[in-house]
């Protein structure tokens, strides 16, 4: 897992998939040697704001209503100071002072949950250079943890006690309060449903003589979708399928593609089935194996028709111009003179 993807991928996996379940997630990134860090806040999969650690100001994103009461500026400043201090301590612990490295990335993700109006846990996870550093959980008065760093026993006890106190008394109540507020102010965004545009695409490979049949669903929201490729009514085996990753679009919607390789002699019938919250029923799509050939023939016929029509028009214009030119030359010539002679 790369450094850039480490906690971003973790966030996408952490966002709840159940109806009525919501998550507020904060992600911060720090590069050693800088006195500032970048941070963003996500409600489920919607980025609702950014934090500028230099100005210590939180900026809302995509809000259509007043959100001054959603975020407490004092909580933002305190959380920002704690996060920066956390990053600097980890950097000092992992990198000796006599070693220098220009590129050293720290990441921190914290999220709290609410499901069917019941409060859930808060989780915080730290990564260093793309690898997990530690992971802490707090829920219903219980504190659990996993430490992946080489703490000494005294350091371990001090850090755990401090982390438990902050999660229980500061981060958990603050996160739940912000989540509750955002669920009210961003209700329209959360409840929007956009239907997927689904296509079956078959692309031939002239070198191998095989084709790639793909089912593409794009432009849908929310992000949870079930896309299945069938062969003669039976699901294609997972080991034959490529793709299937959920990818974001620039407009906040999502896309997913699943593909299967087929031979030129393949006579099976392939279909694609899609279920999504925006759809009343499951959508089924099928494509004739002869469709690419038919489409190519139609394109060739259309080109021949256009070219043939152009040739006919060109010949007609040329002949008309010649005829007009001939009549013009005849009318401009002087009449012949006749001389009478006498014997």
Cα–Cα dist 25/112, whole Å: 7
d(CA 287, CA 189) in angstroms, rounded, equals: 35
> What average pLDDT does the structure give for the chain?
78
Would you say residue 145 has pLDDT above 60? yes
pLDDT at 324: 63
Q: Which of 197, 232, 229 lies closest to 213, judged by CA?
A: 229
Lowest mean pLDDT across 38-47, 56-65, 74-83 = 56-65
Q: Name which residue leads in pLDDT, 290 or 81.
A: 81
3-class SS at 294? helix
Instruction: Please tell me which residue, 251 or 239, carries the higher pLDDT value.
Output: 239
8-state DSSP, 269:
-
Residue 84 has pLDDT above 80, yes or no: yes
Q: What is the pTM of this model?
A: 0.65
Residue 51 vs residue 330, higher pLDDT: 51
CB 178 within 8 A of CB 71: yes
DSSP 52-107: ETTTTEEEE-S-SS--TTTS-HHHHHHHHHHHHHHHHHHHHHHS-TT---S--EEE
Query: Which pLDDT band, with edges at 50, 70 and 90, does 37 fall under?
Result: confident
Chain center to CA of 96: 38
Residue bearing the bigger pLDDT, 57 or 19: 57
The predicted pLDDT at position 341 comes to: 41
Backbone angles phi, psi at 179, to 5 degrees: -60, -45
pLDDT at site 291: 44
Query: What are 94-127's pLDDT values in tens digits?
Result: 665 555 555 678 889 999 998 877 888 899 998 8
CA triplet 311, 317, 334: central angle to 5 degrees?
Answer: 150
For residue 292, the surrounding DSSP H or E stretch is helix 291-332
Residue 172: the pLDDT is: 92
Angle made by CA atoms 152, 158, 163, in degrees to the nearest 5? 120
Is the distance from CB of 200 to CB of 215 less than 8 angstroms? yes
Please provide the CATH number assigned to the domain covering 197-292. Answer: 2.60.40.10
Q: What is the DSSP string of 109-171?
A: EEEEEEETTEEEEEEEEEEETTEEEEEEEEETTEEEEEE-S---HHHHHHHHHHHHHHIIIII
Confidence (pLDDT) at 304: 57
Q: How many CB atoms lie within 10 A of CB 180?
A: 15
Q: In this structure, what token pair is assigned to residue 84?
A: 């920066």
Least confident of 88-92, 132-136, 234-238, 334-338: 334-338
pLDDT for 239 beyond 80: yes
Closest of 123, 137, 105, 148 to residue 5, by C-alpha: 105
With a cut of 90, say whether residue 243 has pLDDT above it. Answer: yes
**Poorest-pLDDT segment among 79-83, 179-183, 269-273:** 79-83
pLDDT of residue 157: 76
Residue 188, judged by CB atoms within 10 A of its CB (0-12, 13-18, 19+), counts as exposed
- Asked whether the predicted pLDDT for residue 35 surpasses 80, the reply is no
Tens of pLDDT, residue by residue over 314-339, are 666 767 666 666 555 545 445 544 44
pLDDT at 296 over 80: no
Domain parsing of the chain, residue ranges:
6-191, 197-292
pLDDT value for 15: 46
Average confidence (pLDDT) over 120-142 = 85
Q: Which residues, in sequence order, are CB contacts of 215 under 8 Å at separation 6+? A: 198, 199, 200, 201, 227, 229, 257, 258, 259, 272, 274, 285
Lowest mean pLDDT among 81-90, 263-272, 306-315: 306-315
Q: 3.40.50.150, 3.30.500.10, 3.40.640.10, 3.90.470.20: which CATH number matches 6-191?
A: 3.30.500.10
């Amino acid at each position: 897992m790369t450094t850039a993807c480490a906690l971003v991928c973790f966030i996408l996996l952490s966002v709840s998939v159940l109806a009525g379940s919501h998550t507020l997630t904060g992600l911060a990134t720090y590069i050693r040697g800088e006195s500032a860090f970048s941070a963003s806040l996500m409600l489920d999969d919607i980025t609702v704001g950014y934090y500028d650690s230099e100005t210590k100001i939180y900026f809302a994103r995509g809000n259509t209503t007043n959100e001054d009461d959603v975020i407490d500026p004092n909580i933002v400043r305190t959380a920002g100071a704690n996060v920066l201090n956390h990053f600097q301590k980890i950097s000092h612990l992992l990198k000796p002072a006599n070693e220098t490295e220009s590129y050293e990335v720290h990441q921190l993700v914290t999220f709290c949950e609410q499901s069917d109006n019941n409060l859930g846990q808060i989780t915080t996870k730290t990564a260093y250079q793309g690898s997990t550093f530690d992971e802490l959980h707090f829920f219903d008065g219980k504190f659990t943890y996993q430490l992946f760093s080489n703490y000494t026993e005294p350091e371990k006890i001090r850090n755990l006690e401090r982390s438990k106190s902050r999660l229980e008394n500061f981060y958990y109540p603050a996160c739940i309060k912000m989540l509750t507020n955002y669920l009210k102010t961003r209700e329209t965004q959360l409840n929007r449903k956009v239907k997927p545009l689904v296509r079956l695409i078959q692309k031939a490979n002239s070198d191998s003589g095989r084709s790639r049949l793909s089912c593409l669903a794009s432009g849908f929201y929310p992000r949870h979708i079930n896309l299945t490729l069938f062969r003669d009514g039976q699901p294609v085996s997972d080991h034959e399928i490529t793709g299937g990753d959920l990818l974001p679009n620039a407009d906040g919607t999502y896309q997913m593609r699943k593909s299967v390789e087929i031979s030129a002699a393949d006579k099976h019938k392939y279909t694609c089935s899609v279920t999504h919250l925006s759809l009343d029923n499951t959508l089924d799509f099928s494509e004739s194996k002869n469709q690419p050939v038919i489409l190519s023939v139609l394109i060739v016929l259309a080109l021949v028709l256009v070219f043939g029509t152009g040739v006919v028009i060109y010949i007609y214009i040329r002949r008309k111009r010649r005829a007009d030119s001939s009549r013009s030359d005849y009318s401009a010539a002087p009449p012949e003179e006749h001389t009478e002679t006498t014997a």
